[in-house]
Structure 1
């Protein structure tokens, strides 16, 4: 995730970060500039169209559908941001639940071996979940006094949750915790699985293909028809104008594509690995 100062306007305007859409769209902007110049040349010099040409009236279509396009893009970016923000809230709740579980266990448990087990296993859930959501392989994780081996063929976070439930159940059977304490601890561990399920719902349910494809086609045909009518009022200045309009519209779509899956490896995705590292730090401090 990109860290920045929102008040530093100079950096925003004149610095192009590697995640900036300008870099990604530059080849397409170059081609659209050539296309706009070709349309301008043919209309002015080859066909020699005048102000009375009906092609000039195409601008009426742009005025009409431009408003519709702006609404679609606004809805698209808002929907993508909602997915990103929901993912951040879920990981925030995972941080709080991990702390709460550690706080309760450090007050309930008396044996250092039991505390050490949870000190290692609770942060492991966040770490494994981060890799699970980003489709990374989870290798065998070894800790002092704890052998945690992940089966790559099975659901990885569920394996950690199962170990947590099993350990808590063993504590109850050995009379180290009471029935009431078992219920309290179980509810905290259950919240881990609920966070995992909600994150998987976001990741595995992308924006419907037909909706995303329609917006891309809409932008493409809107841009491709702009030079036909703008030539009469702008001449060859139509080239930078059309390129700029394409940059604005296409950038909104690219930004939405990037943040709609907040658990990937893009520059603006959630720093789940860093959050997992903070959970490890806080749990070790508590336990």
Structure 2
């Protein structure tokens, strides 16, 4: 995740980070600029359309649809950010639950061997979950048109959770922990699986295809029709104007695409590897 100073306006405005949408959209922006220039030339210089041409009134459509497209993009970005923020809350809960489990086990357990086991397993769960969420197959588990050979017995976070619960159950059978302590520890272990399942829900349930495809088509046709009306009023200045409008609209969609899957490898995704390392450090301090 990018580290930055929120008050440093100069850096935001004049520095182009590798995650900036301008780099991604530059080729398309050049093509749209060329297209706008051709449309402006054909209308003004070649066809020499008069100011009374009905094509000039196409800007009325843009005024009417501008409000609609703004609402769609606001909803799109808000939905994507909610997914990103929910992922952050889930990993924050994993941090807290790992600490709570470590604190309780450090007070309950007497054997150094048992403490060593849970010291490693609690830290391993966060590390394995980080790797598990990076797996591209996890994001495709619910796709109807794909037949993935996924062996659910190799679900690595589940294996770690199972090993910890089995060890807790053995300790109970050996009367090293009481029934009340077993209930307390069981709720902590259950929360690990709940967090994993919630993260998988975000990972393998993307924004509905029809909605995402419609926004992209809407932006494309909206921008492609802009030069026809505005070439009459601003001439060849239609080129930078249309390019800038496309940059704003397409950038919002690109940003939403990036943050709607917070467990990927993009610059603005959650630092799950760093969080798992912090969990490991904290657990080792407690047990």
TM-score, normalized by the shorter chain, greater than 0.5 = yes
Distance 1:136 1:174, change over 3 A: farther
1:181-223 deviation per Cα after TM superposition (whole angstroms, max 9, x unaligned): 0100010000000000000000110000000000000000000
Alignment partner, residue 189 of structure 2: 189
Structure 2 residue matching 1:11: 3-state secondary structure: helix
1:19 aligns with 2:19: yes
CA offsets per residue over residues 150-181 of structure 1, 9 Å max, x none? x9961110000000000000111111100100
Q: Give the match for residue 226 of structure 1.
A: 226
Structure 1: distance between partners of 2:88 and 2:132: 16
Q: Are residues 1:167 and 2:164 paired?
A: no
The aligned residue for residue 57 of structure 1 is 57
Q: Report the counterpart of residue 127 of structure 1 in structure 2.
A: 127
Cα shift at 1:111: 1.1
* In 2, Cα distance between equivalents of 1:171 and 1:51: 87
TM-score, normalization by structure 2: 0.94
CA offset digits 1:74-133 (Å, max 9, x no partner): 000000000000000000000000000000000011111111110111010000001000
Find the aligned partners of 2:162 and 2:200 in 1 and give their Cα distance. Answer: 18
Give 1:144's aligned residue: none
- 1:274 aligns to what? 274
Q: Is the counterpart of residue 248 in structure 1 residue 227 in structure 2?
A: no
Q: Secondary structure at the match of 1:115?
A: helix
Structure-2 separation of matches of 1:44 and 1:178: 87
- What residue number does 2:112 align with? 112
TM-score (norm. length: structure 1): 0.94
SS in 1 for 2:172: helix
Number of aligned residues? 274
1:85 and 2:102 are equivalent in the alignment:
no
Report the Cα distance in structure 2 between the residues aligned to 1:68 and 1:74, rounded to whole angstroms.
10
Cα distance in structure 2, aligned partners of 1:236 and 1:248:
20
Matched with 1:147 is none
Unmatched runs of 5 consecutive residues or more in structure 1: 138-150
How far apart are residue 136 of structure 1 and its match? Answer: 7.5
| Structure 1 pair 238–80 and aligned structure 2 pair: CA distance change class (3 A) | same
The reply on whether 1:206 has 2:220 as its aligned counterpart is no
User: 3-state DSSP class of the match of 1:18?
Assistant: coil
Q: Give secondary structure in 1 for the equivalent of 2:154.
A: coil
Q: Distance in 1 between matches of 2:42 and 2:96?
A: 64
1:146 match:
none
CA distance in structure 1 between the partners assigned to 2:182 and 2:136 by the alignment = 33
Distance in 2 of aligned mates of 1:158 and 1:211: 33
SS of corresponding position for 1:19: coil
| Ranges in structure 2 where 5+ consecutive residues have no aligned partner | 138-150
- Give the C-alpha shift of residue 17 in structure 1: 0.3
Displacement over 3 Å in runs of 4+: none
Pairwise CA RMSD of aligned residues?
1.2
User: Deviation at 1:29?
Assistant: 0.2
Distance 2:134 2:248 in 1: 29
> Which SS does the other structure have where 2:222 is aligned?
helix
